[in-house]
Structure 1
């Protein structure tokens, strides 16, 4: 195993800055996910760690070794790509052992490694097949097997599940997590899917425009997003963000106004302290869909609960929950209620919100208060 350290890493392509001063530390055996929208720089950052791209400036260390000028083959890393990158004319067995053959590894060692990874990945029965005879999930297992036999210090995964259908992605996600638990190896994993990031990672680096906006555990990032970007990107459905103004009428509140009128969302003492002296200022109120639900659903203290009414625009049954889409402060908002709640589009619904879970963001900077 090995830790990975990035210090003030920059990458330019011509005059275009793609990675902008990234500094993060990955602990031994940690599963770190780089997540963000397309074009945010996450795959470029992974390629810099792999040595497939050269740094413009900064330092990358794997273990205790500075690897800025170390070629990929000498970094003791293994990479699994989105495209599988298997040799179509070779069998599964040949694909997995090809790297060992080129390095002159003893045949007995090859056979032992092949047996171990094929059993670990449940592909023993596929060893004589060629990639064209395999499903997408089976090909991905073979690609992982080829990486595993190298016994690297660090595994790098570049959106390995994005070509799979929804059901298979969930199954393979579980397999990747099991694999990490068994091996205890350091993994850096790139995805644009924040559900994948939340379920797999020990820590997540949320990237945007070449920057790491927040680096923390899934719980930290979900419960305490550092700014509006992270709040809006992480979560499915994403956090409801509405504009309001700070008012102080028998206690601090965020007043949200639209065509249906004004709702004053009351703030607790800790939240009130954050907006003290900001009367009249614009504040973004952040509420996760699960914090807005039907009356009686919350187990929170009564002092944190607030009930308001709004007309429902869209009803979206999902099975275990029903999503109610409504307008709040001129923005589309989503509430998560139990499927037993019978409501039709156009009807007024009584929503209960847990204000103890509400997040406040500065109206100008977008940073969480």
Structure 2
């Protein structure tokens, strides 16, 4: 072990190396990266992981650091440091190597490196430049067959190789909204079942049930028409709805279906209070797709929590107006349920087929010295 590298409680009992180094873009972090970091953590008293993307890439550096720190929170002797590295890539050019290594050395803050852990062919040269032992981990990617390039090309096809926070960032959120008793809940649940993923129920309904139950504790004859609403109620609906949505996004498939959102809540606030508050308007997000359920031809199911059959045409019109300028695609669903579901599935299939648009990382200027390093997303992308 190198001097100045104290053992960390919970670390390996008899570490082989004092200080290990892992360098990569982590664009995005995936199971192969995590296996590499775990291999270093198992053999070193301390590990520094330098996350070094270029600024042209689509995922912010701070997000990548947050994701990695969350996944590896159980190994406190592993620290994550981020530095942008916009230098060109040329494995055959010593000057370019010097530029990259200068970024890594600055990130290390002068700490000596005893071992460099890598799955790439450049790992040996990187280790040599740090006068360290090169440790190659799963170079053929047989244990964890995945790469950053593959994930960027098809996140959905490599979903099982992504951690919860990374999935939440990639997930496409589809919001189903509409007037009372127009089948939003039925549609959200049906779509989730079709795609084998999750859906987020409407928190406003839960809050309505609680309000009515509290009223009936004092007056058993109370009905939905006795329930009162204020600005704080609608702010709570938005806050809790988004919290439930964010939690579900961490454990769902590539699509997440949401029964309402802040834009829908704004219409409900307008209905009950005459206007929409700045708090609710400011909370609006941009999902990938809106599905608007039409009221025409849909019977009104009075389940004891609904009070606005006569307002359904007005609400449908308000939803259309709200969504018209939001910059998110809107698909209207009309007719019987099977027709609505087929139209919704076609829209969601198109959404998945469009894929994810991520900027390419800086590509090497020439062919790498070893064919195994041919991934253009260099540095453990």
TM-score where L is the length of structure 2: 0.27
Which structure's residues are more often strand, by fraction?
A: 1
- Which structure has the larger Rg? 2
